[in-house]
Amino acid sequence: MRWPGLHRPTPWQLWVGTSGLLLSGACSYALYELVTIEKSRYHTWRSLVHHYVSNKLMAVLGYISYRDLYRDSLNVRAAQSEFLLGVLRDNQHTPYGRDHHFEDLLERVEPFRLRHPLTRISHYQTYIDRIVEHDERAIMTADPAYMLAITSGTSGQCSLIPTNSKIPTTFFFRGIATMFYSVYQMLDMPFHITQADLPMLKINHQKSMKFMFPAKKRATPQGLRIGPNSSNPEDSQKLSYLYVTPHEAYGIRNEANLMYVHLLFGLRDPDLGMIEANFANLLMGALNFMSTHWKHLVEDIRNGTLTPPFPAEIDPDIRSQLESNLVPDPDRAEFLDKKSRYGFSDIVIQIWPRLHTIVTTTSGSMEPYRAKLRQSFVQFGCIYSPIYGATEGLLGVNTTPNTNPYRDDVPNYTLMPRAQFFEFIPVDQSHMEQPTTLLLHELKSGQEYEVVITNNSGLYRYRLGDVVKVHGYMNEIPKVEFCYRVSQILNLRGEKVTEPFMDQAIRKLFNKIEDHPALHEYTCVESPLMKDVEGSSQAPHYVIFVECKPCDNHSPKPEVLSKCLEDWFAENHGVYKSFKTKGSIGPIEVKILKEGTFRQLEIVMKEETGGVTQFKIPRVVSSPDRLKWFMGKLQ
């Protein structure tokens, strides 16, 4: 029976009606999520919607990236071969490609490994000089360099690395996206403790406090940018809704003032969900800064003002823009005051009870700073070391984040087979100039290797200088721990004292001494370099420069420290003891530096690199100029 006036709907009408219902349902669900999900009270509706859409988009990108990684893990040889041959094919007509006959190397991996030598940065210097002097940006890759990335200089001297658009693209789609997916998985996992203990661990729209600092602007005579390629505020301008710090703050060029602004806007937000810093030493420095200037910060929150206690002035226009985002909040100030009355031990989770993750690199030389964080400001909370990367590009992602807020696992990074073509040198052959290399699928669990990369930004069979240890696998892809830099080894006679071993020795030394002074920082040098600087004629030995805070105004005696350190080495390093017994290595020498030396070093190195976020203390000095600088800072 048909009712009068009613007509059968056309397919187009059915499609429009169904689409309208689905769209209405999706919008209703999105609105429900926006209203009910954990979020920062400092979001506007506009910034909240942007944050919501970003999270959904990253969830999709993360899933795709992780899915592709998993597929590659089932046949890593094929993934690596496709990546390498694609790089050679794309760059065969560049000056570098023609010089090295890439057109003859496009069929298989082996001819490339046989004909192209292992390289160091000196191999590329003439090409880099042509980029700097003649603006030949496509000399090493068909995709022209958009900047010259400057390395941290930890190993002695800063280097310039040509960087094209494929480096940040790969970093985002294969690194950040995979990391985002891994964090999503972490927050959905069952925990060692109940969910009631961690109500903050869920996907939400809280803001993050990210310690970013603008790099010093430099350029070649032709205008090509020079600087660090780590997190740059200019690259994150469109994502400012994710962070507590207003984007206007990055007009501040004074590091202390900008650090103060980061902390001021972070402290005022009780809903803070994440803290981000490139390296654990930067985070430790930021939290020390917070404790030092706590009263000023709390008073500014109380009054809704911006009055950092530093002589460098903030531009009036920037100050006005920042203060327009501040309102007096006496309740928050009183809360912060109460939490600090008993000190700053475990203060982070107390002042930000909804904080779910601290994202910072804790591997390698950053491990001591992770330990310091756990002993002081962050005794509880998940610390996630997300990415293994370098100026030369993305290498790996930590796809299995630690989910226990009481304990930290050693970060293991799943190597990314479509970010680099990897080769590896067994660590006992790293002293050789052209050793035979192993491929990604040939590594053995528990072994250490020096990393060699070919990337899509102009480096071919490049000895990165990193040493990694294999800890497991994602199917065929190794998961590795970053151990140390080859340049940070002490090696007079073949004994190879690594950075982790030396760090353990020095820290145990200071803990062992009665009424021990507080160790601040240290660095080492092999005495033959001292001979070049001051004409020393003693047997080759290690010289350790330490900066420490005296106990009861009594500085430690260098000869006592030297003797204790020598005894510890003899007990714990058999090869060192053997050379010492033969007289091939002389006694360890400890030299005491003036207080503030390493702070001055930080300022000098940041000026050299133009970046704040990539600073790392060199544990082994290999530059005569740097050694002379330290010699001028002795007590």
Token pair for 157:
């001297």
| Domain definitions of the chain by residue range | 489-631
Token pair for 533:
């600087």
CB-based burial of residue 338 (10 Å sphere; 0-12 exposed, 13-18 middle, 19+ buried)?
exposed
C-alpha angle 247-250-253 in degrees, rounded to nearest 5:
165
Q: Which of 207-211, 511-515, 524-528, 603-607 is least confident? A: 511-515
Query: Residue 564: pLDDT band by 50, 70, 90 thresholds?
Result: confident
**Whether the predicted model's global pTM rises above the 0.75 cut:** yes
Q: Mean pLDDT throughout 83-90?
A: 98
What does the mean pLDDT of the chain come to?
87
Q: 270, 207 in Cβ contact below 8 A?
A: no
Q: 170, 456 in Cβ contact below 8 A?
A: yes
For residue 279, the model assigns a pLDDT of 92
Q: 258, 190 in Cβ contact below 8 A?
A: no
Q: 452, 84 in Cβ contact below 8 A?
A: no
Q: 585, 594 in Cβ contact below 8 A?
A: no
Q: 185, 200 in Cβ contact below 8 A?
A: no
CA–CA separation, 373 and 52 (whole Å): 31
Q: Mean pLDDT throughout 450-463?
A: 97
Q: Mean pLDDT throughout 290-317?
A: 92
Q: How many residues does the chain have?
A: 635
CA nearest neighbour of 478 among 522, 424, 524, 520: 424
SS3 assignment, position 192: coil
Higher pLDDT, 593 or 187: 593
Query: Residue 344: pLDDT band by 50, 70, 90 thresholds?
Result: very high
The tens digit of pLDDT for each residue in 96-114 reads 999 999 999 999 999 999 9
CB-based burial of residue 486 (10 Å sphere; 0-12 exposed, 13-18 middle, 19+ buried)?
buried
Residue 276 predicted with pLDDT over 90: yes
CA–CA separation, 452 and 436 (whole Å): 11
The tens digit of pLDDT for each residue in 2-40 reads 555 556 777 766 666 666 666 666 566 556 566 667 778
